Structure 1
Amino acid sequence: MLSAIFLYCCLGGFAGILAGLLGVGGGIVIVPMLVFAFGWQGFPPQYIMLLALGTSLGSIMFTSISSALSHSRRGAVDWRAVGRIAPGIMLGTFCGSHLAALLPKKGLQIFFVCFLAYVVSQMLLGKKPRASRELPGMAGMSCAGGVIGIISSLVGIGGGTLSVPFLIWHNVEIHRAIGTSAAIGFPIAVAGFFGYLVAGWNAVGLPAGSLGYVYLPALCSLVVCSMLTAPIGVRISHSLDVPRLKRCFAVLLIVVGAKMLWDVI
């Protein structure tokens, strides 16, 4: 058990740095590692992925708070944009979690990989959006949030992978886009976390220490370490110039796209 806790702590530390640096929840790293750890601990196979997803979202709730507050202290969070996009994000994530079992994922994954390839090319080539393009109003932001939430649920990614490119496309400076995305990660995580908690409330045969599809020993370890390291990621983020930070985010998108393409193949 101690070796598993050590693994969870290391994973939480890395996820916290990633959240502060790039404004993403770190689920792309946390979920596969939790699947490995839960399998190694001998958890029931039918629950491993559900526990990994629920536990990951629970940790991101706290990581996003730590990261967002650190970015906010540097003036890098557009709280008005967060307030406008949050309702749509939460509704989209909730609906997406219910649609996930009904819709074929391969077509959406292929579309999303193509979208990521386009975003990466724009970042690496230094293409800029039209100077007149600004963030939409309440209705537009809510609709955008709904789309981000639905896609995030259906293809199993964190909202930051979509919200950062969306904000940059509307001429939000990248440091501010990353800080705002970190804050947006909180409503996504809350909606998803409670969805998995409720869905697994009456599940039979869950390992001891589970609350619905959330494994509390892993959650506590992830939370403590990720909240300690998220400010480190924020400091690294604000010490990098814009072109270098864009290249870092482009690398993340390449990793996400490659994993998704591998899943399809």
Structure 2
Amino acid sequence: MTPELIGFGVLAIVSGALAGFLAGLFGIGGGAVLVPVLDQMLTFADVGQSIRMHLAVGTSLAVIVATSLRSYLSHRAYGQMNDGLLGIFLFAVPAGAIFASAITASISGDTLRAIFATISVFIAIRLLFDRVTFSLGQDLPGKAGRSVVGFFIGLLSALMGIGGGVLTNTFMTLYNRPMKEAVSTSAAVGVLIAVPGLFGYIWAGWDAEGLPPFSLGFVNGMAVAIFVPVTLLMAPVGVAMAHRLPERSMRIGFGLFLLVVAARFFYSLV
């Protein structure tokens, strides 16, 4: 085994453990960690810049299928999900994810990086500096409003390669929903995004040139095989901590993490 493969395996294990822990802690699929890590790994593997970010996003969504499902089942046991919102998101969120998959082949890698970093910064600022009393309302909008929001959560999350927890958390807390309810609901949204997104990225990259070995379209099977078992092992640890930590601490921690990720992507665009 070459030093490069050993280094890839060690980095994958460490990154997978962190992604799984964050998936449970914040109700996310771990994509905010996986995408930049996979992008860097593919850089080391000399994958072309034109498809590198697409592969990172698609592979992240494949891992999120398993991570979000495990996180969802763990959170469901605590009984704090908003089933009314999920009933509407059941159709709106996958529709957005499918649309994202249909247009991703026509978007450059740098554009995907810019989308990821920009949205991360806005969300981080809101989490870090928003007053606890600030909200857009005392309850979530009606069915039409929830459907539109769900579509855009699916669209933007699939373009970023994340499980939707980032955007769902923000949406729900802006409407005065408890953070723990938002986290639990976000875990379910991750499943709604990742499954159609996975198949969409396979289809979108099926005839792409320069794909590394073990790739199905914009999804690399070897990376998925390494990340999935580690993330599944760590997700319940994050879930347990999420239900013990103060809400404000969770907001601050998540905000700082997003700023670090955004800085990494902005730096890559320079």
Fold match (TM-score > 0.5): yes
The alpha-carbon distance between structure 1 residues 46 and 228, as it changes in their structure 2 partners (threshold 3 A), is same
> For 2:23 and 2:128, how far apart are their aligned partners in 1?
23
Identity among equivalent pairs (%): 35
Q: Is 2:180 the counterpart of 1:180?
A: no
Native 8 Å contact 2:29 2:64 kept in 1? yes
CA distance in 2 between counterparts of 1:127 and 1:182 reads 25
Which segments of 5 or more consecutive residues in structure 2 lack a partner in the other structure?
none
From 9, 16, 35, the equivalent of 1:12 is 16
1:23 to 2:30 alignment: no
**1:127 matches 2:133:** yes
List runs of 5+ in structure 1 lacking aligned partners: none
| Correspondence for 1:116 | 123
Contact 1:86–1:142 under 8 Å retained in 2: no
Using the size of structure 2 for normalisation, the TM-score is: 0.83
Q: Write the deviation string for residues 130-172 of structure 1: whole angstroms up to 9, x where unpaired.
A: 6x62123433221111122233345665522211011112222
- Give 3-state SS (helix, strand or coil) of 2:211's partner: coil
Question: Does 2:86 align with 1:79?
Answer: no
SS of residue paired to 1:171: coil
Shift of 1:10: 2.1
Partner of 2:253: helix, strand, or coil?
A: helix
Question: Which position in structure 2 is the counterpart of 1:138?
Answer: 143
| Secondary structure at the counterpart of residue 239 of structure 1 | coil
CA 1:258/1:126 → structure 2, altered by over 3 Å: closer, same or farther? farther
Does the 8 Å CA contact 1:21/1:233 hold for their aligned counterparts? yes
Number of residue-to-residue matches in the alignment: 263
- Counterpart CA distance in 2 for 1:235 and 1:112 is 28
Change (3 A) 1:21 1:165: same
Answer whether contact 2:35 2:161 (CA < 8 A) is retained.
Answer: no
Deviation, 1:264, is 6.8
Whichever residue aligns with residue 5 of structure 1, its letter is G
Q: 2:69 matched to 1:62?
A: no
- In 2: Cα distance, 1:109 partner to 1:217 partner: 24
With 186-195 and 94-103 compared, the bigger mean Cα shift is at: 94-103
Matching residue of 2:203: 198
Which range is displaced more, 253-262 or 48-57? 253-262
Q: Against the structure 1 CA distance between its residues 41 and 212, is the aligned structure 2 distance closer, same or farther, given a 3 Å change threshold?
A: same
Whether 1:231 and 2:204 are equivalent positions in the alignment is no
Report the Cα distance in structure 1 between the residues aligned to 2:212 and 2:116, rounded to whole angstroms: 32
RMSD: 3.0
State TM-score, norm by structure 1. Answer: 0.85
